[in-house]
Amino acid sequence: MTQSFSNPRSGAVPQTPWETACALSRSRRDFLRSAAGAVLGSTLVSASPFLRGEEARRKRKIIVITFGGGARDQETFAPEGQDNIPNMLRELAPQSSFFTHVTNQGILGHYVATASLATGVYETLNNFSAVPPEHPTVFEYFRKDLKRPSSDAWVVAPSNGFNRIGESASRAYGQGTGARVILPKHLLSAANSGATANFEHLLRDNYENPLYTPQIGGGEVELQQMENILRLSVDDFMSHAKTLSSPDELSVYIARRLMQQEAPSLLWITMHDIDVAHSGAYSLYIEGIRRTDRLCLELWKAVQSEPEYAGNTTMFVLPDFGRDSDYDAGGNGFQHHRTGDAASRTTWMMVLGAGVRQGVVYEEPMQSIDLVPSLGALMGFSPEQSQGKPVRELL
Ligand SMILES: [Zn+2]
């Protein structure tokens, strides 16, 4: 039997979306306590282990991993899903501060939701158009306030639709003040001279709307990125690409290369494999979850093995939002995120690494838009237009 948070195993049946969200957060907390041995954050009184000195701040690196298309607890943290996320549950969660109640109150489309995560404002842009976010991004705040060069903020993004995510339309900032964006599919397309043969599985894009098929471009700019920034020859890149099985594997490969060659202090990676769920194939959805679980550990291990990152990196992992429950008549279960029900809006965040309390689970509610102010508080920049607030438990 599968479990739904609309129908919890015990206790009163939740009535309102808020009660459902709280029940979801609570049961997620309990799964983590029993499977990962996490303790409740509210029982802690110790001061934050974050180092506040100027030197520590200057060296600090932040990696943010978001998933485009979350997964439900019955396929992840609940007992019946735990086999799908062995690495997150047994390796990463025990080292993490884990937040079980993250609400996305914005539009549930992947580009607009990722833009909201990056600006700290619920953006209202058209999810299916390549436009910049309206409000300043975390990358612009970070670079302006801390006077960092463009090489210090990078985004690895899944598709053409994300190519404007690095900087906003805000006049207070402007062109060239945000993150540099790398689109691994474009690199691959450029390296393959525009041909898609043999690489269709790495170029799959946008599972959500079959009518929207962004052009996978890729040309001179991408070839220069490959040669001058990643320091990869086309031959090496192509021979490695042949060993990969999904777009997210390609993204992680590029992210690791960026870590080695550019060592950005702010690195944002958006993954998208799980969203294959829109196809309706449950087995592919599960495969996407398992792959994402493996790739998160791979990135965490890369942090430990890179001298620029080991010991001074804080990694954030969070889905952009959830997926529909099995019990909302307006949806079709795991397949989509179109009902706006509590399951599709209530997600989580895992934070681990430098300065983070380990093995702690928090159920205090937070919102997607609280990410940017939290990053600002940790790194020492001021996201003045963000509408969220720093997560107290991280400070
Ligand atoms: Zn989706």
CA distance 96 to 38: 9
Of the given ranges (17-21, 38-42, 44-48, 91-95), which has the lowest mean pLDDT?
Answer: 44-48
Q: How far apart are the CA of 105 and the centre of ligand 1, in A?
A: 16
| pLDDT score of 1 | 34
Measuring CA to CA, how many Å separate 239 from each of 188, 235, 291?
11, 6, 21
| pLDDT score of 8 | 44
More confident residue, 216 or 190: 190
CA geometry: angle 305, 309, 310, nearest 5 deg: 55
CA distance 10 to 7: 8
pLDDT at 2 over 60: no
Q: How far apart are the CA of 276 and the centre of ligand 1, in A?
A: 8
More confident residue, 239 or 52: 239
* Residue reference for tokens 């805000």: 170
148-175 tens-digit pLDDT: 999 999 999 987 778 899 999 998 997 8
**DSSP 8-state secondary structure symbol assigned to residue 352:** E
Q: How far apart are the CA of 68 and the centre of ligand 1, in A?
A: 7
| pLDDT score of 4 | 41
| pLDDT score of 10 | 47
Residue (of 28, 31, 36) closest to 94 by Cα position: 36
| pLDDT score of 12 | 64
Average pLDDT, the chain: 89
246-303 tens-digit pLDDT: 999 999 999 999 999 999 999 999 999 999 999 999 999 999 999 999 999 999 999 9
Q: How far apart are the CA of 311 and the centre of ligand 1, in A?
A: 34
Q: How far apart are the CA of 321 and the centre of ligand 1, in A?
A: 9
Of the given ranges (5-9, 55-59, 161-165), which has the lowest mean pLDDT?
Answer: 5-9
pLDDT at 52 over 90: no
99-112 tens-digit pLDDT: 999 999 999 999 99
| pLDDT score of 44 | 55
